Amino acid sequence: MKAPTQPGLTKRANVIQTVAKPPIKPSVFQSLETKFEDKPRRTEYPSRGKVLPPPRLGNSRHDDYGSHKYPPPREPHRFDREPYRERPLHPTPLGPRDRRPFDNRDVDPRARRGYEPPPKILKSSKPRRKKFKKVVKKHRRVVLPVQKLPEDWAQSDFVYYPKPDRNSVVGAGTYGKVFKAHHVYLSKCVALKTLPLRQDRWVKDGLHLTSLREIKLLKSISHQHENIIGIREIFLEGPSCNLVFDYFEFDMHGIIYSSKVGLEDGMMKDLIQQVFRGLDFLHTKAHILHRDIKAANILVSSAGQVRITDFGLAKHVKDDAELENQPWYRKKFEHSNRVITTPYRPPELLLGATLYGGEVDVWSAGCVLFEAFLKKLPFQGTGEDVDHLLTIWKILGLPNVNKYPEVVELEWYWLFMSRVQPKKSIFARLYKNKISPQLYHLLCCIFQHDPKKRPTAAQVLTHPFFTSESPLPESSAPVLQSVEGEWHELEYKMIRDKEKASVRRKQ
């Protein structure tokens, strides 16, 4: 006999009600009830990636609740729930922020219980700030009068100089700058050559080797010849060593190329003659090679007095012709060939010669002689050593091995000869008709490939160009004293750079 059906129950529910309901432990019922009531169903994911079907309620051999071990619950649980939907492998993103769990907390902290608002601070329209008065101390400038020393004290070496500024720079080199300064007590202009102290891992507050060599040589020959610069004193100030020299208004570079200084041939001849006198003293009496003779290193005063300066590359040598062929002498007295500015460098140094004498200075002085009368360098190139050597060979021709056999022993001779074709000298065709006969003859004697055939400085002074050819040497003081301004290499370069810049702007 069928049991009467109740309204609101399905057929499956009627069947469940008619089944005998054995007693069940409350703990089991509680655990099952909480399992299916509080927690949502979860799909188990096996290791192979297969999704198991959801468990079903009812009497089935696949259903645990249909067995005697796990009987169905007394009361049905959510039979009106929605059909099961299989969840995807990857969870779907949550909804908006307000729908997420635990996001229903109060946004406004004032809605909490026991909230006490902070005390209100009355804000004024203007912020209250302490005003500090700026106190400016005015110091009274006191100008002290310049002390006047007695004559015997004025000749002392311990004097003071004002700090030089940028506008007073009259020269710059590899190892320092030259400033124009004023002697406080003597009211006289002097030249300050600043040598920066060297800082490295071995030497602290030390000078460069060339600076030490220059100081040593200048102290040994200072004020011994009228055509050699004399050092007055040496003092340290801050991170530099200062050398004090007499100040000269001109140098040969400024006199040659400046349009405001126009010297006649006799005046120019007098200046060049003084240069060779200074070289004669260095080579014969002081036994010093200057190794940097050029127009910028020859100073000229307004009285027409010449001084040879810049002994940074100078070196003391021992002149002994008998010992030159000895191996120990050659090894001990070999010199560097990386000396002398490139346009004034002789060809033997460009070929790698390391044993030489005063003939290298004579070649450089001959370039200054050529520059003084023709207003240009005799061998003007790009400034590189190779180009300068090729320019010399282009004008003077290649060296004759029969007349100059030592050239074959030079280090880089065959390296250059393999790239150059034989050429003859074109020096006569270029300059013979532009200068006087005696000057042409003197330049031909100086510009020889074999350094042993070049004349010494003393032989140049006895040449007819200085002794008999007119015009004879005459003083240039009247012209130099009337020249406006002071002309050095630095001033000429600044004017030339401004002219080049103006031409570029017009283009």
The proportion of the chain whose per-residue pLDDT surpasses 90, expressed as a percent, equals 33
The answer on pLDDT for 5 being more than 50 is no
Please tell me the number of Cα atoms within 13 Å of 336 on its side-chain side: 11
Q: Residue 480, SS3?
A: helix
| Stretch among 79-83, 96-100, 253-257, 480-484 having the lowest mean pLDDT | 96-100
The answer on pLDDT for 35 being more than 50 is no
pLDDT value at position 52? Answer: 53
Locus of tokens 């021709």: 397
The predicted model gives 427-438 an average pLDDT of 94
pLDDT value at position 285? Answer: 92
Report residue 349's pLDDT band, with 50, 70 and 90 as the boundaries: very high
Tokens of 170: 């009259």
Distance CA 356, CA 333 (A): 9
pLDDT value at position 32? Answer: 46
The residues that are catalytic are 292
Fold for the domain defined by 159-247 = Phosphorylase Kinase; domain 1 (3.30.200)
The answer on pLDDT for 154 being more than 90 is no
pLDDT value at position 10? Answer: 44
Distance CA 220, CA 207 (A): 19
pLDDT in tens, 364-420: 999 999 999 999 999 988 888 889 999 999 999 999 999 999 999 998 888 888 778
Q: 3-state DSSP: the chain helix, strand, coil percent, rounded to 5?
A: 35, 10, 55
More confident residue, 145 or 294: 294
**What's the CATH code, domain 250-490?**
1.10.510.10
The answer on pLDDT for 458 being more than 70 is yes
Domains of the chain: which residue ranges?
159-247, 250-490
Distance CA 123, CA 118 (A): 15
Would the CATH topology of 159-247 be identical to that of 250-490?
no
Amino acid at site 123: K
The predicted model gives 103-131 an average pLDDT of 61
In the predicted model, what is the mean pLDDT of the chain? 76
Is residue 372 within 8 Å of 252, Cβ to Cβ? yes
The predicted model gives 73-93 an average pLDDT of 57
Q: Is the peptide bond before 162 cis (omega within 30 degrees of 0)?
A: no
pLDDT in tens, 483-504: 887 888 877 777 777 888 888 8
pLDDT value at position 493? Answer: 78
Q: Is residue 193 marked as binding? A: yes
Tokens of 283: 């080579």
C-alpha 136, offset from chain centre: 42
The predicted model gives 426-443 an average pLDDT of 94
